[in-house]
Amino acid sequence: MWNERKDCQNIVQQIRSTSVAGCPMLGLQKKLKALKAALIERNKSTVGNVSVQVAQLQENLKSLQQNML
């Protein structure tokens, strides 16, 4: 799972260690929002666009199947 990966744990720890002034619930909300953005960015840089990869693999499969016939 993603939460077992060291790079993700570092991102979570970094976000948790930031201090946010004001109401504790507002601080939690801001930290969760920042965590979401950081994990989305990490996913894009690590995994890439999965939809594009799936479409390319489907095209490759289709081509291979046509070559077999």
Q: What is the pLDDT along the chain (69 residues), one digit of tens a residue?
A: 666 778 889 999 999 999 989 999 999 999 999 999 999 998 888 877 788 889 999 999 999 999 887
pTM for this predicted structure: 0.66
- Which parts of the chain fold into alpha helices (H)? 6-17, 24-46, 50-68
Residue 22: which domain range? Answer: 2-68
- ∠ CA 4-10-11 to the nearest 5 degrees? 100
Cα separation, 41 vs 62, in Å, equals 31
Tokens linked to 3 = 């939460």
Residue 35 CA, chain-centre distance (Å), reads 10
Residue 1 pLDDT: 66
